[in-house]
Amino acid sequence: MAITATDEEVTLSRWLELPRTLRSLKLLAGVLAIDLPLAIALAWLTTRTNLIGGRLFTVLAICPLAVPAYISAYAFLSLGGDNGVLVALLGRDSWLLETMFAADVSGQTHVPRMSGYWGAVAALAAYNMPYLFLPVRAVLRQLDPALEEASYSLGQNRWQTWWKVVLPQLRPAVLAGTLIVALHVVSDFGVVSLMRYDTLSAAIYTRFLTFDLAGAARLALLIVTLAILLVSGEMFLLRNTRLDRSAFGSPRVASTQRLGWWQIPAMGFCLVVFGLCTILPAATSVYWMTRLWRIEAEVNIFPALWGSIQGSLPAALLAAAWAVPLAWLSVRYTSRLGHVLQRLPVIGYAVPALAFGLSLIILCSADWVPDMVYHALYQSLPLLVFAYTVHFLAEAVGPVRSSLMLASPRLEETSRALGRGKIYTLSWVTLPLLRHGLVVAAALVFLSCMKELPLTMLLAPTGMLLAPTGMETLARAAWDHTENAQFAQAAPYALTILASSTLLVSLLLWERRRADQ
């Protein structure tokens, strides 16, 4: 069967891009196989045990969220190679490297870089780990230990209890996280192109680069289809799940597991994981920074920092607010419509940002839009915030939904029975119960906006105060320099994203701890 397109003959198998689709799926399988066990193990270690430095590890675990994906890829690339970190640490003629790797044409040991499939898997796994870790951790903290105690009292041992009682309760959080990771992996461009692994999303950007909008749209449609399949899978696996407490009173805080001698391997494990996920990209940026003195460059990060916050903060708050009704509909009213509505944001998330930004431009520039509306709206801050919010809303729904599933409807019913109205109950009973979920949702969206590139470049507002030559953001400035291989000048911006995001996350955790006491 042949469909004749504008410029190339397109057969059905070519239309479906089977090899690229399969590569995207293979990548996804690899990333999940690494991230799922790691994230669950880390979440358990940091919430349910007396692991030394658990709080520090939690902050470290969230840091990769603040690293733009392409920087994470550069960091993994810089590990190997004849001028890489391994060679710098061990020396090129060390026996370890000589025995591990073959020599090149000049007779010296050649240390290969991570690239292709495994390189992409490693970089994406490190980059996406927090999206699973955070929701799982949030649920583990809130679990009612009574269920586990009941399991022990029925003669189940620790492992059986873990498999049969704890893990099923983690299911919504794990699935929500998995969905986000999956969408990242199938729509990622920065990592796969640098690792030279040709997936669907890589092909989309190539189409855009070569002005083939029709081809890009066709590929984007494939990704959206893939996303819809993933969402349907999630819906299927979550059907008939109810996790709220049915017992009276409020749950106790779960007791912590004493690690004893296990403390050492547990800490070692955390250190290795965080070394790769967080410290590697951070250290790479710091190393770039050390070369800054060599060139005379003025770096003023403040306009970029201000620009980043201006767009990201309102979007984060708005996304968290929008997530509440969506999560509410799907959890409290188990109608099919609610389930579908709640998953709608996933489509906005799966459409590659470049395509999303362009479609907003097309919409604003349409002939039927009056000039006045166009000038007021186009390239204004509200439009950018709107774009961020719609694009990243899917990240906010998961945590809010997980919190809502754990909140007993009985409390709301009590409030209504005591004569309070719907709005009162929502504001003073439900929302406080969702607080942790809302905070996580806002934080996730904020960090995503901070490192966002294509939407910012296409839609950044003009005529802004304090930005006379146009709005600048940290992510864009860092990208601008890496594009010209000015890594030293990119470093301050990359490190500022990392530092400001880490600061924010630590504040949130601290605030949470205070609220608990």
Partner 1 sequence: MPLRFKVTEMPCPHCLPMRRILSIGLILMLAGVIQIGSLATCYGQNLVIYCGRSKSLVEPIVERFQKETGTKVEVRYGGTTQLALAIQQEGRRSPADLFWAQDTGALEAITADDLFAKLPADFNKNIIDRFRPTTGTWVPTTARARVLAYAPARVSQDQLPQSVFDLTDAKWKGRIGWAPANASFQAFVTAMRVQHGEEKTAAWLQAMKANQAKAYPKNTPIIDALAAGEIDLGLPNHYYLLGMKKENPNLPVEQTLFADGDLGNLVFVAGIGVLKSSRKQAAAQKFIQYLISNPIQEDFTTRVNEYPVTSSAKPAAASLDPQALQKAAPDVPYSDLEDLDGTLKLLRRLDLL
- The residues in 178-207 that bind partner 1, with binding defined as CB under 8 A, are 193-194, 196, 206-207
Site map (CB under 8 A) of partner 1, residues 149-168, x = contact = --------------------
- Site string (478-497) toward partner 1, x via CB under 8 A: --xxxxxxxxxx--------
> CA 327 from chain center: how many Å?
19
Rg (CA), the chain: 24
Which residue in the set 54, 64, 80, 130 belongs to the binding site for partner 1 (CB under 8 A)?
Answer: 80
Q: In terms of CB distance, is 113 or 141 closer to partner 1?
A: 113
Q: Is 516 in the site for partner 1 (CB under 8 A)?
A: no
CA angle at 209 for the pair 371 and 366, rounded to the nearest 5°: 15
Q: Where are the alpha helices (DSSP H) in 80-212?
A: 85-90, 95-100, 116-142, 145-153, 158-161, 167-187, 190-194, 200-209
Helix (H, G, I), strand (E, B) or coil at 103: strand
Distance in Å, CB of 341 to partner 1, minimum:
26
Q: How far is the CB of 110 from partner 1 (least distance, A)?
A: 5
Q: Which of 17, 82, 98, 244 binds partner 1 (CB under 8 A)?
A: 82
> What distance in Å separates the CA atoms of residue 198 and residue 382, rounded to the nearest whole number?
36
Q: How far apart are CA 374 and CA 380, in angstroms?
A: 10
Least CB distance from residue 467 to partner 1, whole Å? 9
**Judged by CB under 8 A, does residue 326 bind partner 1?**
no
Q: Is 10 helix (H, G, I), strand (E, B) or coil?
A: strand
324, containing H or E segment: helix 302-332
- Comparing CA positions, the residue from 164, 405, 140 lying closest to residue 253 is 140
State the binding string over 418-437 for partner 1 (x if CB under 8 A, else -).
----------x---------
Q: Does 120 bind partner 1 (CB under 8 A)?
A: no
**Contact indicator for 138, 173 with CB cutoff of 8 Å:** yes
Burial of residue 330, with CB atoms counted within 10 A of its CB: 0-12 exposed, 13-18 middle, 19 or more buried? buried
Total residues interacting with partner 1, rule: CB under 8 A: 71
Which candidate, 257, 196, 396, 245, places its Cα nearest to that of 316?
Answer: 396
Measured CA to CA, the distance from residue 470 to residue 462 in angstroms comes to: 6
Interacting positions 215-254 with partner 1 (CB under 8 A): none
Interface map 459-478 toward partner 1 (x if CB under 8 A): -xxxxxx--xxx-x---xx-
Indicate which single residue of 1, 89, 105, 417 sits in contact with partner 1 (rule: CB under 8 A): 105
Is there binding between residue 374 and partner 1 (CB under 8 A)?
A: yes
Stretch that binds partner 1, among 43-51, 132-140, 222-230, 291-299 (CB under 8 A): 291-299
Amino acid, res. 421: G
In this complex, which beta carbon is closest to partner 1, that of residue 35 or of residue 452? 452
Decide: is 97 part of the binding site for partner 1 (CB under 8 A): no
Give yes or no for residue 368 binding partner 1 (CB under 8 A): no
- Give least dist CB 451 to partner 1, A: 16
Q: Which of 281, 303, 454, 492 binds partner 1 (CB under 8 A)?
A: 454
Amino acid at 281: P
